[in-house]
């Protein structure tokens, strides 16, 4: 058996003297310091004009849905087919028969604003009550639900598994709070997404991370995703680059939900 001898008194004294000397030196430097020594003037942050309301897009944002059309989207599974959801009165309503919709552009890191409304007359329970999802990066555009899903669901008075309720990263991260509003009221997500990075050999270099506010309340705090979100099975990572965003048309039987005011800022 090996034992580690405690440091000698001489070594302790030498270390204490060194730390004292460094502290004296630092204090001396601070006494000579000027305020401008720690002031930076470059790089100058770009000017971004904020919207007049929290929902209005800032000047550097790409508007993905302005209430008029779905030109920025295409149908899931066929990039040549127009998005089939109904646009009326400034909102777009999910058409479950036509499938999900996917952005024509791809993104890496971004800030996303999106609002949704659960129908006031919603029926069903659990996962079959106003179910949809925001795929923060959809990496399979051929009709499969492969990507990283932020759950959309009515959880004002509706119980389900907690890592599958509104505000969750589906089947991975329970929301920090439940700030859901009543069905019939508009609700807003603010999302900051950091895409995963991969090495040249396809292995993971750094995981995806996400911070999410729901109705102004923090529900995900820089959560590191374990991989794509899975209904069955464990999450995993596979190499991909910039990816589109997808809005899911879930197959439950409840009344379809609506979206509005969707904009994004590349980071």
CB 150 within 8 A of CB 212: yes
- The span from the CA of 101 to the CA of 22, in Å, is 61
Overall size of the chain counted in residues: 267
Pair (22, 125) in one structural domain: no
| 115 and 222 in a common domain | yes
Within this chain, do residues 23 and 143 fall inside the same structural domain, yes or no? no
Whether residue 44 lies inside any domain: the answer is no
- Residues of the domain holding 203: 62-266
User: Residue-wise pLDDT tens for the chain (267 aa)?
Assistant: 555 656 677 777 787 778 777 787 778 777 787 888 888 899 999 999 999 988 899 999 999 999 999 999 999 989 999 999 999 999 999 999 999 999 999 999 999 999 999 999 999 999 989 999 999 999 985 556 799 999 999 999 999 999 999 999 999 999 999 999 999 999 999 999 999 999 999 999 999 999 999 999 999 999 999 999 999 999 999 999 999 999 999 878 889 999 999 999 999
Q: Would you state the pLDDT for residue 199?
A: 97
E strand or H helix that includes residue 6: none
Q: What is the pTM of this model?
A: 0.88
d(CA 54, CA 237): 34
Cis peptide bond upstream of 223, omega within 30: no
Q: Identify the CA nearest to 264 among candidates 248, 243, 250, 249.
A: 243
Distance CA 210, CA 189 (A): 12
Q: What's the CA gap between 119 and 109, in Å, rounded?
A: 31
11/6 Cα distance (integer angstroms):
10
């Amino acid at each position: 058996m090996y034992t580690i001898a405690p440091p000698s008194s001489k070594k302790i004294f030498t270390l204490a003297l060194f730390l004292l000397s460094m502290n004296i030196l630092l204090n001396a430097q601070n006494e000579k310091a000027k305020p401008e020594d720690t002031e930076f003037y470059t790089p100058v942050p770009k000017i971004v004009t904020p919207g007049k309301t929290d929902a209005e897009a800032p000047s550097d944002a790409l508007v993905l849905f302005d209430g008029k059309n779905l030109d920025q989207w295409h149908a899931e599974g066929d990039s040549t087919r127009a998005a089939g959801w109904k646009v009326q009165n400034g909102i777009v309503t999910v058409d479950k028969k036509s499938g999900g919709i996917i952005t024509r552009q791809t993104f890496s890191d971004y800030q996303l604003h999106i609002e949704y409304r659960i129908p006031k007359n919603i029926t069903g329970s659990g996962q079959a009550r106003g179910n949809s999802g925001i795929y923060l990066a959809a990496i399979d555009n051929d009709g499969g639900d492969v990507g990283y899903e932020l759950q959309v669901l009515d959880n004002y008075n509706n119980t389900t598994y907690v890592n599958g309720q509104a505000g969750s990263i589906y089947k991975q991260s329970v929301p920090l709070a439940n700030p859901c509003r009543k069905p019939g009221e508009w609700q807003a997500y603010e999302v900051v997404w950091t895409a995963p990075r991969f090495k040249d050999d396809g292995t993971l270099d750094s995981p995806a991370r996400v911070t999410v506010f729901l109705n102004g309340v923090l529900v995900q705090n820089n959560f590191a995703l374990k991989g794509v979100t899975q209904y069955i099975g464990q999450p995993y990572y596979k190499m991909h680059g910039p990816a589109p965003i997808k809005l899911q048309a879930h197959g439950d039987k409840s009344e379809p939900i609506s979206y509005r005011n969707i904009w994004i800022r590349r980071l």
